[in-house]
């Protein structure tokens, strides 16, 4: 493995709009490349410009803490930072991959975020996150923290094939249980399930059941994408060694979509399976409102709740345009409450959306959203 120390010009990455999965406006990658080397990782795709061989070559942003400190400093900012969770993880490298033991960048960034009072949402596959329980608890006390772990399955034997560099799903579930006992909100990212291997009803139900036993606060679900070239070639090689007879089935659902997406029909089937499992085990399919309502600005709160409504309807097989409305709201400069009587001028806002937005602005929630969430709410 090659480790290169690099000087980053910037660390904080602003999302185009508040991200309704993580409820976050900002993220960061402290490492580029990931020695966990999951077979399906889309960080391997050329789209992300990671240098060298993915899984083998890691770039370490050694000046990350200093750069971030100046980016967070309100005196140096022309536009103040928005309130939301700051996301640590995802992207092109796990923040708790083994090299973190040596560089401790993630730990030092957490210390800085604690000092500056920002809420934090961590996503990792590594049990090393338990090392930082002391800071995570302090952040949670001061401004709130969430620990999420990602899975493609709860089956240790299958995970060992496709996620060779990370602790087993059993260990990850134990880690989530540990954080729950310590009073930290947790989630499972069941993302991606692997086509024809971990996407069966039995496998998804089993994984959701385990998440529910651990007491996670929510589960985010998604199918796999396979972008052409480096990512797809690498995954197909792993598949060839594991179950070559599946290759033609993959060719049937991955047909060269630019974003690496499988066919819509395939994802619809998956969503139905997951939705059934989430109802059965009463597991919320999006972050519960109580974990973010007091963090976001009013526009972002409305945008996230509308996106959640859109998703919950989609999971019930209904099409809606609340996601489109959420997008219009995310671009607004002025607070929604200053245009209570004029909401219909916003693109996509009709009578129903107007009513929902007004209710959220008055009460902090929407009865429609609460009703849709009930089947998945914990008893
Ligand atoms: S842990 Fe995440 S970033 Fe690292 S290889 Fe696996 S999927 Fe990619």
Residue 196, Ramachandran bin (φ over 0: left; ψ between -120 and 50: alpha; else beta): left
Does ligand 1 have an atom closer than 6 angstroms to the CB of 94? yes
34 Cβ inside 6 Å of ligand 1? yes
Query: Rg (Cα) of the chain, in Å, rounded?
Result: 21
Is the CB of 121 inside a 6 Å radius of any atom of ligand 1? Answer: no
Peptide bond into 192 cis (omega under 30): yes
126 lines ligand 1 (CB under 6 A): no
Q: At what angle do helices 298-315 and 322-330 cross, to 10 degrees?
A: 160
Å from CA of 162 to ligand 1 middle: 11
Distance 333 CA to ligand 1 centre (A): 35
Which pTM was predicted? 0.96
* The 31-32 sheet, strands edge to edge: 2-6, 57-61, 31-32
Crossing angle between the packed helical segments 169-181 and 201-214, to the nearest 10 degrees: 30
**What pLDDT shows up at residue 79?**
85
**What does the pLDDT read at residue 51?**
84
Q: Which of 168, 278, 258, 140 is nearest to 218 (CA)?
A: 278
Other CB atoms within 10 A of residue 247 CB: 12
Burial class for 245, CB neighbours closer than 10 Å (0-12, 13-18, 19+): exposed
40 Cα–ligand 1 center, Å: 8
- For residues 307-319, one letter each, b for 16 or more C-beta atoms within 10 angstroms of the residue's C-beta and e for the rest, the string is bbbbbbbbbeeee
* Per-residue model confidence (pLDDT) at position 46: 87
> Would you list the DSSP string of 79-147?
SPPPPSEEEEE-TTS-TTSTTHHHH-HHHHHHHHHHHHT--EEEEES-GGGGGGHHHHHHHHHHT-EEE
What lies within 8 Å, CB to CB, of 311 at 6+ separation is 20, 285, 286, 323
Question: Left (φ > 0), alpha (ψ -120 to 50) or beta: where does 55 sit?
Answer: left
Q: Report pLDDT for 377.
A: 82
Cα(137) to centroid(ligand 1), Å: 25
C-alpha–C-alpha distance, residues 203 and 198, integer Å: 6
From the alpha carbon of 37, which atom of ligand 1 is closest? 5
pLDDT of residue 50: 83
| Dist. CA 281 → ligand 1 center (Å) | 27
pLDDT of residue 226: 96
Provide the b/e sequence for 148-167 (b: ≥16 CB within 10 Å).
Answer: bbbbbbbbeebbebbbeebb
Residue 174 pLDDT = 98
pLDDT tens for the 379 residues of the chain, in order: 899 999 999 999 999 899 999 999 999 999 999 999 999 999 998 888 888 889 999 999 999 999 999 999 988 888 889 999 999 997 789 999 999 999 999 999 999 999 999 999 999 999 999 999 999 999 999 999 999 999 999 999 999 999 999 999 999 999 999 999 999 999 999 999 999 999 999 999 999 999 999 999 999 999 999 999 999 999 999 999 999 999 999 999 999 899 999 999 999 999 999 999 999 999 999 999 999 999 999 999 999 999 999 999 999 889 899 999 999 999 898 999 999 989 999 999 999 999 999 999 999 999 999 999 988 887 7
Angle at 21 between CA 15 and CA 22, to 5 degrees: 65
Determine the pLDDT at residue 70.
Answer: 95
Q: For residue 299, what pLDDT is reported?
A: 97
Q: Is 43 in the pocket of ligand 1 (CB under 6 A)?
A: yes
All residues at 6 or more sequence positions from 34 whose CB lies less than 8 Å from its CB, including other chains: 41, 43, 54, 55, 58, 92, 93, 94, 97
Ligand 1 centroid from CA 125, angstroms? 8
**Structure confidence at residue 58 (pLDDT):** 96
- Please name the helix (run of DSSP H) or strand (run of DSSP E) that holds residue 278, with its range, or none: helix 264-280
How many CB atoms within 10 Å of residue 109?
22
Question: Which residue has a Cα nearest atom 6 of ligand 1?
Answer: 38
Residue (of 301, 294, 266, 289) closest to 372 by Cα position:
289
- Is the CB–ligand 1 distance for residue 37 below 6 Å? yes
Q: Return the SS3 of 251.
A: helix
Task: Pick from 38, 53, 91, 98 the residue to mutate for probing ligand 1's pocket: most ligand atoms within 8 Å of its CB.
Answer: 38
Quote the pLDDT of residue 374.
Answer: 87
Instruction: Assess contact for 26 and 86: CB atoms under 8 A.
Output: yes
pLDDT value of position 359? 97
């Amino acid at each position: 493995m090659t480790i290169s120390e690099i000087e980053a010009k910037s660390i904080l990455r602003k999302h185009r709009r508040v991200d309704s999965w993580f409820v976050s406006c900002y993220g960061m990658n402290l490492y580029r490349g990931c020695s966990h080397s999951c077979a399906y990782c889309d960080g391997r795709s050329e789209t992300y410009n990671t240098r060298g061989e993915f899984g083998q070559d890691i770039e370490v942003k050694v000046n990350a803490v200093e750069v971030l400190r100046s980016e967070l400093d309100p005196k140096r900012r022309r536009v103040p930072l928005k309130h939301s969770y700051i996301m640590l993880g995802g992207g092109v490298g796990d923040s708790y991959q083994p090299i973190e033991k040596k560089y401790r960048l993630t730990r030092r960034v957490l210390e800085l975020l604690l000092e500056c009072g920002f809420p934090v949402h961590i996503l990792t596959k590594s049990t090393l996150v338990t090392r930082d329980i002391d800071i995570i608890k302090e952040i949670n006390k001061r401004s709130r923290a969430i620990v999420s772990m990602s899975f493609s399955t709860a089956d240790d034997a299958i995970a060992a094939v496709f996620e060779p560099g990370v602790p087993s799903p059993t260990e990850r579930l134990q880690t989530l249980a540990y954080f729950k006992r310590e009073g930290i909100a947790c989630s499972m990212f069941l993302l991606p399930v692997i086509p024809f291997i971990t996407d069966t009803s039995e496998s998804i139900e089993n994984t959701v059941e385990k998440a529910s036993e651990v007491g996670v606060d929510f589960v985010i679900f998604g199918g796999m994408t396979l972008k052409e070239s480096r990512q797809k070639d690498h995954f197909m090689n792993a598949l060839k060694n594991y179950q070559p007879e599946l290759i033609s089935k993959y060719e049937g659902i991955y047909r060269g979509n630019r974003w690496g997406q499988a066919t819509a029909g395939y994802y619809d089937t998956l969503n139905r399976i997951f939705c059934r499992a989430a109802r059965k085990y009463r597991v919320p399919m999006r972050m519960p409102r109580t974990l973010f309502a007091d963090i976001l600005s009013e526009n972002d709160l409305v945008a996230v709740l509308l996106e959640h409504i859109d998703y919950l309807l989609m999971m019930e097989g209904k099409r809606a345009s609340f996601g489109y409305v959420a997008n219009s709201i995310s671009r607004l400069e002025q607070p929604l409450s200053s245009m209570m009587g004029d909401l219909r001028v916003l693109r996509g806002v009709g009578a129903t959306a107007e009513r929902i937005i007004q209710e959220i602005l008055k009460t902090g929630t929407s009865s429609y959203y609460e009703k849709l969430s009930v089947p998945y709410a914990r008893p």
